[in-house]
Amino acid sequence: MTSTLPRAPVHPLLAFYLISPLFDRREQLGLIIALVLSESSDTAPYASGRLLTDHLNSVRLIEDSKTEISQTPRLRYMNGRSYYRWIIDLAERSSLKIQYTPGHSKDHTLETQMNNEADFLASSSQKIYKDIPEIWPPTFHMNQFTFYSPTDGWIESNIPHYVDLRLAQQTITSLSHGHSQRMSTWAHDDTPPPEYPYLKAVSAHSAAVQLYARSGQLATADILKKRNQLEDDKCRLGCDATETPRHLFVNCIKYQEWRDESLKEVLDRTELKLATFEIVGDTKENIMAAAKSLFIDSSIWPLHFSLYYLGQLPNLNILFSENSNINPVQKRRLVSHLAVDWHTSSIRLAGRIFGDFQKRMAVLNDNPYSYNTSNRIPVAFSQWVF
Ligand SMILES: [Zn+2]
C-alpha cells in the first residue's frame, strides 16, 4: 500500500486502486494515484516530500530509470508494463522522493504506521467495492501492438501462458456440460483437494479410480454393454438395478457397510473439528447435516445427488449461517480442514469399493490377475483402456 508524507486527507480517488483483482496492479495504481494527487497538493512540492510504498518492484524500477541504462527493452515484456511506464513518467516529473518501506513490519516508526493505516483503509474499502468507480488500463502507455480479449481486456502478461490458461478454461467449460454431470465442478465446493492422496501416496489407486470415473471409463456393466462387451447391464453383484458407477458407489447394497463405516469416521472427525473451532447453533447443524449426506443423494448436494466418488463436495461456504460469529480467517481454516477430511474419506471409500469390485469381477471372469502379455496391463485395468 502507498501513503504520502506529509499527511494529507484521504482522497476518494485512492479507493480506485482497490478494485483491481491483481495485487501488483493495486500497488501500482496506488502509486500512480498518489503521484497524480501530489501534483495539485500544496505541501508535496516543497521541503523534501516523501512518497512511501511497500511495492519494491516499483521503487527499484524508478531507481533504475534514473541510471544511464535504458529501461525501454526491459519494459517491453514486463507484466503490467503500461502501469510501470506511467509510474516512471509521473516520477520523472515529480519532486517527491519515492521511498520503499517494508509492509507488515511491527516497529512503531512513522513509516510503518502510515503503511498500516493505508492497509487498513484498503481492506475496509473491500466492503464498498461495488460503489467504487472502475479505472481503465492506461492504453496510452501500452506497447504499440497489444493483444486484446473481449472478456479479459488488454493482455499485458506472457502471451503463451495466457493462451494456455484460456484453452484450459475452454476445455473445462465444454466438459462441464453434459457427460452425466461428471465434470460439474462449477456447482460444487471449490476448495483445492488435499495433495497427499494424489501426488505423494505410494498407491495412486484412489486417484486412478477418480480419473477413470470422471472420464466415464470405469468398467461398470452399463459402459461395457454400450461397447458390446457385455449383454446385460444389471448389477453383477446381485441387485435388481443397472450397474452404473452411481449405483456401485452410492446405492449398491453390497457396499452399504463400508459406506456406513466411512460415514461414521466422517461424522466423528467433523464433530471434533466443530468442537475445536467452537461452532454451535445453525452452522453446526448445517455442517453435520451435510456430513451425514456425503455418501447419499440429498438436497445438500448442488445437483441433488452425491458425487463423492468423483472427488466433489457440496458447497461448504453456504453452510455457515449469516449470524454465525466465526471470523473470516477461522471460517477459511475450518472450510479447508473439513474439505481435506471429507475429500480424503470420499476418495478412500471410492477406492476401496472399486478395488473390491475389480477383484470380484476378475474372479467372475475366471481370470484373476492374469496379465495381458502384449501391454502388461492387468486384465481388470485393460478393460478401462479403449
Ligand atoms: Zn448392486
Q: Quick one: pLDDT at residue 81?
A: 92
| Contacts of residue 128, Cβ cutoff 8 Å, sequence gap at least 6 | 15
**One domain, residues 119 and 228:** no
pLDDT band at 373 (very low <50, low <70, confident <90, very high): very low
Higher pLDDT, 13 or 357: 357
User: In CATH, what number is assigned to the domain containing residue 111?
Assistant: 3.30.420
Higher pLDDT, 238 or 48: 238
User: Does 181 reside within a domain?
Assistant: no
End-to-end CA distance of the chain: 55
**One domain, residues 232 and 94:** no
Residue 375 Cα to ligand 1 midpoint, Å, equals 31
pLDDT band at 85 (very low <50, low <70, confident <90, very high): very high
Given a cut of 80, is residue 4 above it in pLDDT? no
Among 123, 141, 159, the domain-final residue is 141
Q: Which of 313, 310, 287, 311 is nearest to 301 (CA)?
A: 313
Residue 229 Cα to ligand 1 midpoint, Å, equals 19
- Secondary structure (3-state) at 378: strand
Residue 244 Cα to ligand 1 midpoint, Å, equals 9
**One domain, residues 230 and 365:** yes
**Which pTM was predicted?**
0.56
User: Does 130 reside within a domain?
Assistant: yes
DSSP state of 242: B
Q: Which of 358, 247, 356 is nearest to 309 (CA)?
A: 247
222 neighbors 233 (Cβ within 8 angstroms): yes
**One domain, residues 97 and 246:** no
Number of structural domains (the chain) is: 2
**One domain, residues 129 and 230:** no
Structural domain including 74 reads 2-141
Q: Quick one: pLDDT at residue 48?
A: 66
Given a cut of 60, is residue 382 above it in pLDDT? no
3-state helix, strand, coil in the chain (%, to 5): 55, 5, 40
Q: What is the pLDDT of residues 184-199, one digit of tens each?
A: 777 788 888 888 777 7
Task: Give the chain's mean pLDDT.
Answer: 82
Phi–psi pair at 355, nearest 5 degrees: -60, -45
Sequence letter at residue 362: A
Instruction: List helix spans (H) across the chain.
Output: 23-39, 56-65, 72-77, 81-93, 110-125, 159-175, 205-214, 221-226, 245-246, 256-276, 281-292, 328-364, 379-382
**One domain, residues 218 and 334:** yes
Q: Which residue has the cell 492374469?
A: 370
- The Cα-based distances of 65 to 60, 93, 122, 198 in angstroms read 9, 13, 29, 47
**One domain, residues 133 and 210:** no
Q: How many CB atoms lie within 10 A of CB 273?
A: 17
Q: What is the pLDDT of residues 243-287, one digit of tens each?
A: 999 999 999 999 999 999 999 999 999 999 999 998 888 899 999
**One domain, residues 278 and 345:** yes
Give 132: exposed, middle or buried? Use CB within 10 Å, 0-12, 13-18, 19+: middle
User: Does 185 reside within a domain?
Assistant: no
Among 94, 111, 141, the domain-final residue is 141
**One domain, residues 231 and 363:** yes
Given a cut of 60, is residue 21 above it in pLDDT? no
Residue 187 Cα to ligand 1 midpoint, Å, equals 28
Q: Quick one: pLDDT at residue 367?
A: 53
Residue 293 Cα to ligand 1 midpoint, Å, equals 20
**One domain, residues 11 and 107:** yes
User: Does 191 reside within a domain?
Assistant: no
Q: Quick one: pLDDT at residue 26?
A: 79
Please state the rounded mean pLDDT for residues 319-337. Answer: 86
Among 141, 158, 188, the domain-final residue is 141
Q: Quick one: pLDDT at residue 43?
A: 59
pLDDT band at 11 (very low <50, low <70, confident <90, very high): very low
User: Does 180 reside within a domain?
Assistant: no
| Contacts of residue 206, Cβ cutoff 8 Å, sequence gap at least 6 | 197, 347, 348, 350, 351
User: Does 165 reside within a domain?
Assistant: no
**One domain, residues 323 and 213:** yes
Q: What is the pLDDT of residues 218-236, one digit of tens each?
A: 989 999 998 898 899 999 9
Distance CA 227, CA 46 (A): 82
Q: Which of 134, 33, 29 is nearest to 80 (CA)?
A: 29
Residue 215 Cα to ligand 1 midpoint, Å, equals 21
Given a cut of 80, is residue 47 above it in pLDDT? no
DSSP symbols for 310-347 = GT----SGGGS-TT----HHHHHHHHHHHHHHHHHHHH
Give 241: exposed, middle or buried? Use CB within 10 Å, 0-12, 13-18, 19+: middle
3 neighbors 37 (Cβ within 8 angstroms): no
Residue 298 Cα to ligand 1 midpoint, Å, equals 20
Q: What is the pLDDT of residues 99-149, one digit of tens each?
A: 888 877 778 888 888 888 888 887 777 777 777 777 888 999 999 999 999
Residue 256 Cα to ligand 1 midpoint, Å, equals 10
Residue 250 Cα to ligand 1 midpoint, Å, equals 10
User: Does 312 reside within a domain?
Assistant: yes
User: Does 227 reside within a domain?
Assistant: yes
Residue 242 Cα to ligand 1 midpoint, Å, equals 8
Residue 357 Cα to ligand 1 midpoint, Å, equals 10
Residue 255 Cα to ligand 1 midpoint, Å, equals 8
Q: Quick one: pLDDT at residue 44?
A: 52
Distance CA 70, CA 95 (A): 21
The sign one gets for the Cα dihedral 101, 105, 107, 111 is positive
Q: What percent of the chain stands above pLDDT 70?
A: 85
Distance CA 316, CA 283 (A): 11
